[in-house]
Chain A
Amino acid sequence: MLRNLPENILKYLVDQVPPYTGILIVKTSAEGVVLGWHGDPADYLSEALMINEDLSDQVAALFGMIPPLVSPMVLSRIEMHSECIADIHIVEDEELNEFWIFFVNQTKEVEGIRDFLQRLNESKLSAAKSNSDNPFGALHLLDLATFKPQSDGLFSVVGELPHWFQTLSSVEGRIKGRIQLADMFPFMEVFLPEANAFWDKQRNGNFKSGVWSENAQSGNNLYLNAYAINFNGVGYLMIRPLYQEFDGEMEVMQRAREQSLAFEKLAKAERKLKDLLDYKDKFVSIVSHDLRSPVASVLSIAQMLNADEGFLAQISDFNREMLNNIQQEMLRLLDYNDKLYNWSNLELGNFTLVTSRIQLLELVTQAERTAQPKLKEKHIEMQVEVPSGFLVEVDTTLFAQVLNNLVANALKFTAEGGKLTVSAKKGEGFYVLSLADSGVGMSKEVADQLFQGFVRQSTLGTKGEKGTGLGMGIVKKILDAHGFDIKVDSVVGEGTTFSIYLPAI
């Protein structure tokens, strides 16, 4: 039906009818006979609406109103039935000589102001009791309790006291004549001295107290604010309850403090965790330090026996192989132990960078020398393309460890006959040192986890080489300590490139 509304009626609906929660639109003839409707009549009318019935039979307020004396005509807040109050708009469609009746639901709006109107009317009825000394009129209707300070420190009530005030436990039965507010509200002991100082200034304005709460007879707490007011040279004190607007504020405060407590708990858990991690690192550091000596001794003995040809000639091939295995495994154990020691000390921050200026090429050449046995073993070509003259400032011992670990990692994952290229390029104020291998590469998932720290399970190399799972973590720690960045690009089956960014000197 809405689509069929004549343009002028639709315009009236859009422009003149205020926002509504519900509406019933009825079309009648010039005699008020129902021709049709839109909306649910049951919400507005006590009985079912019928075509061709006289609308005023259902709505007494419309009796004699159709046609109205003027169009449009608005009948405000008509009680349709016990649960519905509506504004009725009667609008004439002059072309068709028909009438459109809008029943606009106002129930909620009326409920919202009913209490206020009730008290306003009661106030008017008891106007004879009003204090002529009250410049604030019916302010108590806005829930303000108003008092006027007297010279003896007592207070007289100005106007009417709002209902909430009289329901306070501390007030019950104590409003007779002038009152001692501080006796009623101990909080006033704090506020009144400040209020007196404000009143003494005699400047128009107000001074607000902090928030305090009082028990209501219902058992609930009521939060209150007091205001000292100077008005035309006279001091007043107003007390106001804090309702919905304060509930929101309280909720924010409650949430903020709960979050603060949660944050404190989290910080506490983090501190405990850090202590445990430190304890773990210290433990690892001590154990790996103390293990180094016996492991190195066993390795020396194995190396000594392996070098003793007279001894080797006396033992079986099997025993020679076993002896060789002992030497290799002890070597690996020593390497693992050293890495563990370095790792734990890096974690604990038990090191100081001692930097010096050095040619990048010199560091790379040194790493190449260290890698020679493995390069030969796997027939891997290591190509160095680092120009001389690239000067960097690093802790040479620690940075050598970075290069050794990266080269060892590349050789581990590059098959026999592969290639490793170490190159350097100059950018704007920095060098990029790249180590690109033709190895097996790695997935993005593995690459993302590479520098996270200890890897639970190290991947075997192309020749079954075992690792410690610590090498890349150590690389990252050392580079972080220098303030250098490292990036990894890898394609599975094609190879991996590590790029270190160092400031150019």
Chain B
Amino acid sequence: MLGAFAVGKTSLVQRYVKSIFSEKYQTTIGVKIDKKTVMVNQTEVDLLLWDIHGEDDFQKVKSSYVVGSSGYFIVIDGTRAETFAVGLELLKLAQSAAPAASCVFLFNKADIKSEWEITENQINEIRTMGFEVIETSAKDNLSVNEAFNHIAALMLK
């Protein structure tokens, strides 16, 4: 899980792994690794989900956290324009550290789409770059399972 701080990385993992959601923002320090076993095309897959702290001036993501990954999400908060640029920066870091890994962009907080600052053009920009885009909401459980199952399937290809 890569993205700026407070985009909802931890919330997405918690929703997916534990089916819970908290409105309270609790900043992630360091790395939290969760496990979840899923069935992908009749194959049992153990997912190790690395919830990495948000990127900002206080904490920088180390490329070594991404090196061994089979896939990663770049998470962007639809309501915060600033998180788009951070997502693209982290994409560069991840592409350099794990060139073979699958990548999916998650535009989170789809439950409050009326407040989005991220434009359709920006989302299309990501699609044009060849990445899949999924609009998610950890709060309303929108497309969360689909996103994780999808990246698991991509990683198996």
Interface residues of A (CB under 8 A from B): 186-187, 189-190, 193-194, 210-213, 221, 223, 246, 249-250, 253-254, 256-258, 260-261, 264, 268
Contacts of A253 in B (CB 8 A): 27, 29, 58-59
Contact stretch, chosen from B62-70, B102-110, B138-146: B62-70
Q: Is the CB of A257 within 8 A of B56?
A: yes
Q: Is B26 an interface residue (CB 8 A)?
A: yes
Contacts of B48 in A (CB 8 A): 186
Q: Is B134 an interface residue (CB 8 A)?
A: no
Give 5 A-B contacts (CB < 8 Å), ordered by A residue.
A187-B33, A253-B29, A254-B26, A257-B27, A268-B117
Contacts of A187 in B (CB 8 A): 31, 33
Q: Is B6 an interface residue (CB 8 A)?
A: yes
A211-B29, A211-B30 known; A190 vs B58 contact (CB < 8 Å): no
Q: Is the CB of A223 within 8 A of B25?
A: no
Interface of B is mostly: loop
Contacts of A268 in B (CB 8 A): 117
CB distance from B63 to the nearest CB of A (A): 10
Q: In the bound complex, what is the Cα–Cα distance between A250 and B26 (angstroms)? A: 10
A194-B64, A264-B80 known; A223 vs B5 contact (CB < 8 Å): no
CB distance from B93 to the nearest CB of A (A): 14
Q: Is the CB of A221 within 8 A of B33?
A: no
Among B25, B32, B62, max chain A CB count under 10 A is at B32
- Residue among A210, A223, A257, A264 making CB contact with B58, cutoff 8 Å: A257
Q: Is B125 an interface residue (CB 8 A)?
A: no
A253-B27, A257-B5 known; A221 vs B32 contact (CB < 8 Å): yes
Q: In the bound complex, what is the Cα–Cα distance between A268 and B118 (angstroms)? A: 13
Residue of B nearest to A211 (CB): B30
Q: Is the CB of A186 within 8 A of B33?
A: yes
Q: A210-B30, A253-B59 are in contact. List 10 more A-B contacts (CB 8 A).
A: A186-B50, A187-B31, A189-B68, A193-B64, A211-B30, A212-B32, A212-B33, A213-B29, A256-B58, A260-B5
CB distance from A213 to the nearest CB of B (A): 5
CB distance from B152 to the nearest CB of A (A): 16
List B3-45 residues whose CB lies under 8 Å from chain A. Answer: 5-6, 25-27, 29-33
Interface residues of B (CB under 8 A from A): 5-6, 25-27, 29-33, 48, 50, 54, 56, 58-59, 62, 64-65, 67-68, 80, 82, 117
Contacts of A210 in B (CB 8 A): 30-31, 62, 65
Contacts of B33 in A (CB 8 A): 186-187, 212
Q: In the bound complex, what is the Cα–Cα distance between A268 and B67 (angstroms)? A: 36
Contacts of A194 in B (CB 8 A): 64
- Residue among A212, A256, A258 making CB contact with B25, cutoff 8 Å: A258
Q: Is the CB of B25 within 8 A of A190?
A: no
Q: Is the CB of A261 within 8 A of B29?
A: no
CB distance from B157 to the nearest CB of A (A): 22
Q: Is the CB of A261 within 8 A of B68?
A: no
Q: In the bound complex, what is the Cα–Cα distance between A213 and B50 (angstroms)? A: 11
CB distance from A182 to the nearest CB of B (A): 10
Q: In the bound complex, what is the Cα–Cα distance between A256 and B6 (angstroms)? A: 12
CB distance from B24 to the nearest CB of A (A): 10
Contacts of A211 in B (CB 8 A): 29-31
- Residue among B6, B30, B50, B80 making CB contact with A223, cutoff 8 Å: B30
Contacts of B30 in A (CB 8 A): 210-213, 223
Contacts of A254 in B (CB 8 A): 26-27
CB distance from A418 to the nearest CB of B (A): 57
Q: In the bound complex, what is the Cα–Cα distance between A193 and B63 (angstroms)? A: 13
Q: Is the CB of A212 within 8 A of B31?
A: yes
Q: Is the CB of A223 within 8 A of B68?
A: no
Q: In the bound complex, what is the Cα–Cα distance between A175 and B117 (angstroms)? A: 51
Q: In the bound complex, what is the Cα–Cα distance between A38 and B145 (angstroms)? A: 70
Q: In the bound complex, what is the Cα–Cα distance between A483 and B21 (angstroms)? A: 54
Contacts of A223 in B (CB 8 A): 29-30
Residue of B nearest to A185 (CB): B33
CB distance from A63 to the nearest CB of B (A): 55
Contacts of B5 in A (CB 8 A): 257, 260
Q: In the bound complex, what is the Cα–Cα distance between A80 and B6 (angstroms)? A: 53
Contacts of B117 in A (CB 8 A): 268
Q: In the bound complex, what is the Cα–Cα distance between A254 and B58 (angstroms)? A: 11
CB distance from A275 to the nearest CB of B (A): 13
Residue of B nearest to A209 (CB): B30
Q: In the bound complex, what is the Cα–Cα distance between A246 and B107 (angstroms)? A: 32
Residue of B nearest to A212 (CB): B31
Q: In the bound complex, what is the Cα–Cα distance between A221 and B14 (angstroms)? A: 14
Contacts of A186 in B (CB 8 A): 33, 48, 50
CB distance from A50 to the nearest CB of B (A): 58
CB distance from A119 to the nearest CB of B (A): 27
Q: Is the CB of B65 within 8 A of A190?
A: yes
Contacts of B68 in A (CB 8 A): 189-190
Contacts of B65 in A (CB 8 A): 190, 210
Q: Is the CB of A257 within 8 A of B6?
A: yes
Q: In the bound complex, what is the Cα–Cα distance between A211 and B117 (angstroms)? A: 33
